[in-house]
């Protein structure tokens, strides 16, 4: 064998041995790092225990019941011009509308916009000036634009059209608050002049309509007044209510020019499933998406079917909100119960020695804290400390012999982590 060949074999042997030693060294370093950092710096995710509130809700369809009487003109046809705001409170004998020979929907729509703007300007003058900020006005305009987009996406073009006036009013309000329009009186005069000019396009006034009694006047009547009257709720059975909600047909009489709602109390009837959270004569927040408004309503009664499997809730409201959309059937959301406690992810819950709780990081060590779960959500729970303690933030007083304390506010919770146990030392 030649000298060069023997040299090459020795060189390759030494090189291979060196590579093997390096690989072994790297493996040893990796295992050492894993051992050291795994013991002293475990990869854990932490979160503070802070109080939050969540509501258990029920989304359903609500049907509006109220006492109302249609308002009639002496002759059919013609343009109807309101003399009061839509939904305004009126007294007996007060002028509420005028009838003109011509009926022009476009003129009527513009006059309604002018009425709303004039009302806004009158409220914005002198001592009646709005107290909220220009920033609040910006937020209202933005919310109205979002509502228009949502209505358009759902195909509700009429709803989007109604919101256009609301946006215009918001812009006008912003101009007033920022000082861009300072002469409010001159604007009122200008808008009133335009309104009167439009009125002349409707021809001659043929009739003046006066309120037949005290109440709230609305220029539109949907024809369901008799079926959805308050009297229908007296001693109502489930089958009777079900028949009204599913079979009622609108009937709008000739010469009807609106409706007069008697009194300020009105009701909604809606099917409910979670009756275990409902108590008669208690009040609940009810959210109306059409109005982006939540009202506190009293549960008058729960009406169940004979089998006790289906239920209607009858809720009442003792106020008539201004500019409220009283569409007979509309979605509602009932806030059944509010839970206040510490919101933590499901992944943080552990069971130790038969106790449900969480691990917390207390300075440089891990400790276990008991919890009392009061609500389960989507991937999280709401929990408190000692359920016998009225104050969930108070420091728990552990009974003699109890090994684990209850969770407290601002404890640092271990949300996720491996190899976690009480007493473990962490950086």
Q: Is 103 found in the same domain as 6?
A: no
Q: Kindly state whether residues 349 and 325 are assigned to the same domain.
A: yes
Question: β-strands 350-352, 372-376: how paired?
Answer: unpaired
* Cross-strand partners of 312: 271, 303
Q: Which stretches in the chain have pLDDT values below 50?
A: 1-4, 7, 11-12, 27, 30, 32-42, 128, 130-132, 397-401
pLDDT at position 180 is 62
CA distance 207 to 87: 21
pLDDT tens digits along 353-392: 889 999 999 888 899 999 999 998 889 999 998 776 655 5
> Do 26 and 60 belong together in one domain?
no
Q: Which of 189, 222, 255 corresponds to the end of one domain?
A: 222
- 164 — phi, psi (to 5°)? -60, -45
Same domain flag for 294 and 385: yes
Integer Cα distance of 300 and 399 in angstroms: 44
The 10 Å Cβ neighbour count of residue 64 is 19
Q: What is the pLDDT of residue 118?
A: 80
**Residue written as token pair 């959805």:** 228
Both 332 and 416 in one domain: the answer is yes
Classify residue 32: in a domain, yes or no.
Answer: yes
Closest C-alpha to 387, from 341, 337, 336: 341
Pairing of β 45-48 and β 329-345 = unpaired
Q: Does the residue 259 lie in any domain?
A: no
Asked whether the beta carbons of 262 and 215 are under 8 A apart, the reply is yes
Question: What kind and span of H or E run contains 421?
Answer: none
Residues 6+ apart with CB under 8 A from 421: 359, 366
Closest CA to 172 of 109, 124, 107, 110: 124
Number of domains into which the chain is organized? 3
> Residue 163: which H helix or E strand, with range?
helix 157-178
Whole-number pLDDT of residue 111: 86
- According to the model, what pLDDT value does residue 85 have? 84
Q: Are strands 293-304 and 283-288 parallel, antiparallel or unpaired?
A: antiparallel
The verdict on residue 389 lying in a domain is: yes
In a domain, 240, yes or no: no
Largest CA-CA distance found in the chain, in angstroms, rounded: 130
**pLDDT score of 391:** 55
Q: Is 426 helix (H, G, I), strand (E, B) or coil?
A: coil
CATH number of the domain at 311, please: 2.40.30.170
The confidence score (pLDDT) of residue 172 equals 66
36 and 47 within one domain: no
Q: Is residue 103 located within the same domain as residue 209?
A: yes
Token representation of residue 136: 């609040």
Residue 237 belongs to some domain of the structure:
no
pLDDT at 151: 66
Segments of 305-422 assigned E as strands: 311-317, 329-345, 350-352, 355-362, 365-370, 372-376, 380-384, 405-406, 412-416
Residues 274 and 197 in one domain: no
Tokens representing 194 are 């335009």
Pairwise CA distance, residues 314 & 299, whole Å: 6
Tell me, yes or no, whether 207 and 286 share the same domain: no
Q: What is the model's pLDDT at position 237? A: 96
Q: Residue 392: CB partners within 8 Å, gap ≥ 6? A: 51, 340, 341, 342, 384, 385, 409
Q: Are residues 371 and 409 in the same domain?
A: yes
pLDDT value of position 417: 77
The range of the structural domain enclosing residue 111 comes to 74-222
Q: Is residue 387 part of a domain?
A: yes
Domain boundary among 193, 222, 251: 222
Q: Residue 73 is inside which H or E element, if any?
A: none
300 and 178 housed in the same domain: no
Q: Are 377 and 391 in contact (CB under 8 A)?
A: no
Residue 370 lies inside a defined structural domain of this protein: yes
The phi, psi pair for 412, rounded to 5°, reads -95, 105
State how beta strands 405-406 and 365-370 pair.
Answer: parallel
**Residue 146: what pLDDT?**
74
Residue 411 domain-assigned (yes or no): yes
Give the integer Cα–Cα distance in Å for 209 and 74: 9
9: number of Cβ within 10 Å: 10
Question: For residues 208 and 204, what is the distance between their CA atoms, to the nearest angstrom?
Answer: 12
**114 contact partners, CB below 8 Å, separation of at least 6:** 191, 192, 194, 195, 198
Give yes or no: residues 160 and 50 share one domain: no
How many other C-beta atoms can be found within 10 angstroms of the C-beta atom of residue 286? 21
Calculated CA dihedral for residues 211, 214, 215, 220, nearest 10 degrees = -10
């Amino acid at each position: 064998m030649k000298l060069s060949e023997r040299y090459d074999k020795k060189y390759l042997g030494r090189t291979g041995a060196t590579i093997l030693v390096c690989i072994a060294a790297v493996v040893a370093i990796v295992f050492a790092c894993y051992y050291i950092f795994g013991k002293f710096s475990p990869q854990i995710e932490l979160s503070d225990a802070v109080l939050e509130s969540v509501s258990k809700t029920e989304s359903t369809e609500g049907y509006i019941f109220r006492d109302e009487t249609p308002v009639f003109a002496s002759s059919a046809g013609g343009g109807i011009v309101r003399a009061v705001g839509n939904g305004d409170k009126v007294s007996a004998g007060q002028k509420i509308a005028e009838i003109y020979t011509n009926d022009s929907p476009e003129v009527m729509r513009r006059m309604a916009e002018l009425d709303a703007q004039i009302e806004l300007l009158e409220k914005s003058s002198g001592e009646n000036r709005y107290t909220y900020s220009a920033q609040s006005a910006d937020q209202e305009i933005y919310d109205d634009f979002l509502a228009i987009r949502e209505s358009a996406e759902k195909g509700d073009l009429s709803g989007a059209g109604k919101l256009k006036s609301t946006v215009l009013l918001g812009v006008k309000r912003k101009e007033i608050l920022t000082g861009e329009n300072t002469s409010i009186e001159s604007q009122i005069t200008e808008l009133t002049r335009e309104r009167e000019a439009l009125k002349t396009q409707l021809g001659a006034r043929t009739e003046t309509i006066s309120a037949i009694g005290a109440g709230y006047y609305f220029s539109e009547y949907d024809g369901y007044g008799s079926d959805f009257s308050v009297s229908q709720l007296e001693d109502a059975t489930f089958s009777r209510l079900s028949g009204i909600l599913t079979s009622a047909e609108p009937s709008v009489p000739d010469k009807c020019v609106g409706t007069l709602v008697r009194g300020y109390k009105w009701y909604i009837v809606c099917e409910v499933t979670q009756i275990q959270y409902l108590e008669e004569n208690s009040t609940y927040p009810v959210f109306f998406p059409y109005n982006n408004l939540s009202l506190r309503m009293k549960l008058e009664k729960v009406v169940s079917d004979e089998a006790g499997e289906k239920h209607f809730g009858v809720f009442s409201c003792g106020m008539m909100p201004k500019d409220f959309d009283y569409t007979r059937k509309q979605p509602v959301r009932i806030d059944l119960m509010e839970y206040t406690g510490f919101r933590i992810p499901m992944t943080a819950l552990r069971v130790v020695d038969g106790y449900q709780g969480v691990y917390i990081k207390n300075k440089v060590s891990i400790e276990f804290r008991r919890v009392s779960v009061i609500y389960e959500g989507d991937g999280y729970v709401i929990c408190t400390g000692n359920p016998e303690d009225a104050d969930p933030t108070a420091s728990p007083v552990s009974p003699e012999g109890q090994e684990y304390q209850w969770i407290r506010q601002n404890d640092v919770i271990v949300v996720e982590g491996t190899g976690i146990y009480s007493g473990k030392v962490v950086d």
